[in-house]
Chains A and B, each alone.
Chain A
């Protein structure tokens, strides 16, 4: 993953001081990254604890959901993630209704994880298969109970179940299994109609704004996750282009595309639409939604860690300068790409509470690097 190093900015104090103080740290080694990521997720729990005890902050409404352990759900099918992350915060136990005991995290487990140990503790596999069973049970019900699926998904979804689980969590696929296939088929056709109507038209029928939009999309598609080959395939690029154009304007598809890929494309379109429904004003002019969250983040950090907050201020660093990108790309740029899907399990489990949840994730990001942040230059 070269993304980290290529984004290092000399005067970005987070990076600069971190590098200075820990020159030996192999930032780019995957196992180190994984364990740092795990540490961040653990911090999220810490922050959530703080918040739920401090007040009924805006995000607290879903707090029962947080009563579960955050586990990197490696069911053996994924090849990159070796560290099952298991953290059970005892203080959260009260909000569990006794149904969350599958992950017993002993201190030694945490130790292993933070050191990036590659051998999974024996207990983990059993736990994972238990989790898979739970998922299978939920998904095979005539009507999926979304709240239960959310609870399970928050701690990680087995990779091969993601397509099903994500569609359900986003409210795209109906919970009722009898209706599911029919609805998906109808929505896909609807999408292809949009494509034909808005994308597959000559430029002469487009407005100037639409032409500019296409131009921008053509510039951006090749720059989407350029370090992951999947995204650089012609077909995926084409799909992305159509999804993005239809999304902003509603329109797109070419006849050559194999049926299956086009179904996925259609589903991606609807899933993206659903996702964006919850954060419309993050991506409108001047992105007021993001600006609001950046302000919330600044306030939260001030409340939970004043020294860091002061330090950032003294450095003349504005939260907007670093946190804007975090919110805008929901951390896709900040963490190794193979961990993104895991993070999204939790995002999607959060549902409507996602924007506020992001604030807490990012606060814990800052707490994770607080030592290097606040040490003298």
Chain B
């Protein structure tokens, strides 16, 4: 776990939510990113679970507080309460189950209903290691993401492909928005812009620049 810093030693704290249908691999993406672990026998998530990991971006320590929500329909009413204050979201589907991709639109609507419209969202097609079972093509994922101005990546939590990249990209984009905004208001990025715990970060300004292009280089 080299490179992990002390718990409270960070410049920024960003809340990121993991959403998407049940069984698409949200919890394994989280455990891969925060603990470098993967389990084929993981249990379904009930309600919400959290984990954190800190990353370096432009010499700043960004601490990601990731909320892993339950994907099951029946928890929907409760999980949406967990979106509050999120500045980033990973919307995950399973590339081998087309129905999970069809539901992305619904998840997106729910996310928009409960968060700031300018939240940084990345669409994730997970389980890319199951190449022979692919039911959603990379192109389909990519074009949907472009249409909705989302970032896009295909990942495999099992093979650890693109997992770090996906989280890092989302966190970097959030950081850019926050630091740009801080500079515009003449604040010193390093200190005064540090959000306190639980404080909502306003990402409503000037995000158009980062939303273009995406990062679907896979």
Q: What residues make up the interface of A, taking CB atoms closer than 8 Å to B? A: 3, 6-7, 9-12, 16, 212, 215-216, 219-220, 222-227, 283, 285-287, 291, 316, 320-321, 324-325, 328-329, 333, 377
Contacts and interface: CB of A to CB of B under 8 A. Distances in A.
Interface string B48-65: 111111000000000001
Contact of A219 (B23, B34, B39): B23
A6 B197 contact: no
Given A12-B50, A216-B72, A321-B47, A6 B78 contact: no
Contacts of A325: 46-47
B184 interface: no
B23 A321 contact: no
A3 B75 CA distance: 22
Contacts of A220: 22-23, 44, 72
Determine the interface band of chain B, counting residues with CB < 8 A from chain A. Answer: 20 to 34
B47 A320 contact: yes
A283 B74 contact: yes
B196 to A, nearest CB: 10
Q: For the complex of A and B, list the 6 residue pairs with the smallest distance between their C-beta atoms, beginning with the closest.
A: A226-B41, A286-B77, A219-B23, A324-B47, A325-B46, A11-B50
Nearest to B81: A320
A226 B78 contact: no
A219 B43 contact: no
B78 A287 contact: yes
A10 B46 contact: no
Given A11-B52, A220-B22, A6 B39 contact: yes
B211 to A, nearest CB: 29
Contacts of A333: 43, 46
6 contacts: A6-B31, A6-B39, A216-B22, A220-B72, A224-B43, A333-B43
Interface of B: 7-8, 22-23, 31, 34, 37, 39, 41-44, 46-53, 65, 72-75, 77-78, 81-82, 99, 197-198
B46 to A, nearest CB: 4
A10 B47 contact: no
A10 B50 contact: yes
A275 to B, nearest CB: 18
Nearest to A219: B23
A328 B46 contact: yes
B51 A320 contact: no
Contacts of B51: 9-11
B41 A227 contact: yes
Contacts of A328: 46-47
A287 B22 contact: no
A216 B46 CA distance: 14
Given A6-B42, A227-B41, A287-B74, 14 more contacts: A6-B31, A7-B43, A11-B52, A12-B50, A216-B72, A219-B23, A220-B22, A220-B72, A226-B41, A283-B74, A321-B47, A324-B78, A325-B47, A333-B46
A220 B37 CA distance: 21
A202 to B, nearest CB: 19
B76 to A, nearest CB: 8
Nearest to A220: B44
Contacts of A320: 47, 78, 81
Contacts of B53: 10
A28 B2 CA distance: 24
Contact of B22 (A3, A219, A286): A219
A328 B198 CA distance: 26
A134 B211 CA distance: 72
Contacts of A316: 197-198
A362 to B, nearest CB: 14
A244 to B, nearest CB: 12
| Max count, chain B CB within 10 A of own CB: residue among A212, A219, A328 | A219
| Max count, chain B CB within 10 A of own CB: residue among A10, A285, A377 | A10
Contacts of B197: 316
Contact of B44 (A6, A212, A223): A223
A226 B43 contact: yes
A226 B75 CA distance: 21
| Max count, chain A CB within 10 A of own CB: residue among B43, B46, B52, B72 | B43
Contact of B73 (A9, A216, A225): A216
